Amino acid sequence: MDWESFKKLKGDEGWLVIRRHAGVVSDALRQKTLVLKHQADIAFVSSYTVDPLADYVQVFSAQNDLAVNSYIAPYGQFNQELLNPQSELYRASPQLTFLLIEIESLLTNDAVDEQAQSSVLSRLQGLVDAFLKNSTGILVINTFPACPSWPLQVLPDQRRILIEKLNAGIIERYQSHPRIQIIDLDALVAYAGCQNALSPQMMSMAKIPFSETFLNFLARRIISHIVATLGLARKCLVLDCDNTLWGGIIGEDGLDGIQIGHDSPGREYLEFQKTILELYQQGVILAINSKNNKDDVMQVLNEHPQMLLREKHFASILVNWDPKPQNMQKIADQINIGLDAMVFIDDNPAERQMMRQSLPQVEMLEMPADPSLFARTLRETGCFTRAYLTEEDKNRGQIYAAQRQREQFQQSCATLEDFLKSLEMVVSIHPAGKDDIKRVAQLTQRTNQFNLTTRRYTEAAIAAMAQNPSWRIYVLGLKDKFGDNGTVGLALVEIQPKKWRVDTFLMSCRVIGRQVEDAMVDRICRDAAKAGCISVSAEYIPTAKNNLVAGFWDKMGFEKENADAKQVRYSKQLKNYQSPQFLYLKIV
């Protein structure tokens, strides 16, 4: 397979082309001539033909280093598949099941009225209940397109009004459920345009309600659900400055000459910044990587009256004349994330090509030549998709701003001990409550470096674990004089009569070396000893990213029991266990 040509497929080549490439991908994965970094097991259960949609998903997933293994239920058999506990769907045990159905498939007759609305919700609830009972995976359901039945009619469109009410009921009922996600199909069809999205011809020929163009779009949305559920979303958006954040070149045009404001030229860049700010508010880390004079860029960030993005919004700002790949590596090191968590936007094709060649892990977002399309292009990327927002997500910008202050403060301290004493750190360690579940799942999915086993768990799995007396979930929060770091540590511990087992132990890299990891281990050992346990066991499972913690359990006083190429097992005897002193922490 010509990988470079394959990566350039956009979907507008038509379904037959996509189908051919989907077959090539499937064969290559089966024969192991194509090895992708991530894997997902999914299922399609639908009231219409979904094979073409599955082909688009197969191709676009592979382009994103994701191998998708799809179970496609027989045409129209969604009731049988969901209601029968012995169905092939449940035997396949997919991580995500996409229940894609038309409103007509849930109606007892063609009328859409108040009674029908109640009936549809009731039938949908029955399908959902059956799934939740028989599967441990995620169910993705859709709303229904509320397109105008009579677009030129003056009278109110009662069918459309009732479908909108039905959609509102679906969203209200399911949007907060940890095992249910929603594709707002009504919103997607409206975004694409009803006439562009819905296809009577395709429905007549192939029992597919959508056009090929919309299948392309819908497939990308489906991949967003997969990426969000598996925790594969990118974390950091890195931006150039000239002709990216603003129009013009600051070094030549000066503060008053660059284009940014409410009128064109300049409005396009302001709209782009609004979109970037929305990502910031969703927890995406922002950084700058620019060839420029730093004083000029800082003047724009701090003084230009029309700028929405300010210095406080950026976790890292590297403005110099060094090669941008070199700066990108420095930014990754400063923020403590991998290069594969980063997305770069730069108007210069030569810089983009250099980044691709030097650091292929970094996602290059190709922006159109017309800056008025910058905001739309960024909004249509699935790089930063997530299934939910935690409090840490909402406050991440402030957390990283405080981290920059800590780093600057540390440089002024004579010793590490002086720095740690001056931080005035307060640590809280407590069992996970209902409000912690989302953050706990997120930490297991997104933490790579300080993660001893790198086991990934969904929100549903964590919620089940929290209700199971055989498990204990510890969460660690940290505050200091610069602010609240939020929940930065986690341990999942399996409770056994005489021996506790640490299944997962992880920390945010922002807090490494401040004794907080020692405090968490101590809390586990104290609780185990109090419960009458003889020992605590733990593991280290090496990955490409967690070499940082290869000797962690040794440092914590655990004894190595055995080791092989896949893992190292440890244990710590608890007889006469004594807690260490924590000179720099106040533990509450």
Same domain assignment for residues 121 and 264: no
Residue-wise DSSP of 248-297: S-HHHH-TTTSB-SSSTTTHHHHHHHHHHHHHHHTT-EEEEEEES-HHHH
**Higher per-residue confidence, 153 vs 378:** 378
Same domain assignment for residues 341 and 419: no
pLDDT (tens digit, 9 = 90+) per residue, 210-240?
999 999 999 999 999 999 999 899 999 999 9
pLDDT confidence of residue 494? 97
**Residue 404 domain flag:** no
Same domain assignment for residues 219 and 240: no
Query: What domain range includes position 75?
Result: 3-230
**Residue 402 domain flag:** no
Q: What is the CATH number of the domain that holds 571?
A: 3.40.630.30
pLDDT confidence of residue 1? 66
Give the separation between CA 259 and CA 265, rounded to whole angstroms. 6
pLDDT (tens digit, 9 = 90+) per residue, 349-362?
999 999 999 999 99
**Residue 87 predicted with pLDDT over 80:** yes
Write down the mean pLDDT value for the chain.
93
Same domain assignment for residues 30 and 161: yes
Judged by average pLDDT, the poorest of 1-5, 191-195, 364-368, 411-415 is: 1-5
Length of the chain: 588
Torsion sign, CA atoms 403, 407, 410, 416: positive
**Residue 109 predicted with pLDDT over 80:** no
Give the separation between CA 367 and CA 377, rounded to whole angstroms. 7
Q: Specify whether the CB–CB gap between 85 and 41 falls below 8 A.
A: no
Tokens describing residue 508: 């945010």
Q: Specify whether the CB–CB gap between 430 and 439 falls below 8 A.
A: no
Same domain assignment for residues 307 and 353: yes
Kindly give the residue spans of alpha helices, DSSP state H, lying in 388-429: 391-412, 416-423
Same domain assignment for residues 518 and 438: yes
pLDDT (tens digit, 9 = 90+) per residue, 264-322?
999 999 999 999 999 999 999 999 999 999 999 999 999 999 999 999 999 999 999 99
Number of structural domains the chain divides into: 3
pLDDT (tens digit, 9 = 90+) per residue, 517-567?
999 999 999 999 999 999 999 999 999 889 999 999 999 999 999 988 889
**Residue 95 domain flag:** yes
**Residue 398 domain flag:** no
The number of helix segments (H) and strand segments (E) in the chain equals: 23, 18
Give the separation between CA 102 and CA 143, rounded to whole angstroms. 9
Of the residues 363, 379, 395, the one at which a domain ends: 379
**Residue 70 domain flag:** yes
Q: Read off the DSSP letter of residue 498.
A: S
Of the residues 187, 214, 230, the one at which a domain ends: 230
pLDDT (tens digit, 9 = 90+) per residue, 417-459?
999 999 999 999 999 998 999 999 999 998 999 999 999 998 8
Vertex 240: Cα angle to 238 and 244 (nearest 5): 115
Same domain assignment for residues 226 and 246: no
Of the residues 185, 208, 230, the one at which a domain ends: 230
Average of pLDDT values for 133-160?
Answer: 92
Q: What is the CATH number of the domain that holds 359?
A: 3.40.50.1000
Same domain assignment for residues 367 and 426: no
pLDDT confidence of residue 159? 86
pLDDT (tens digit, 9 = 90+) per residue, 114-125?
788 888 999 999
Same domain assignment for residues 226 and 240: no
**Residue 401 domain flag:** no
Same domain assignment for residues 300 and 420: no
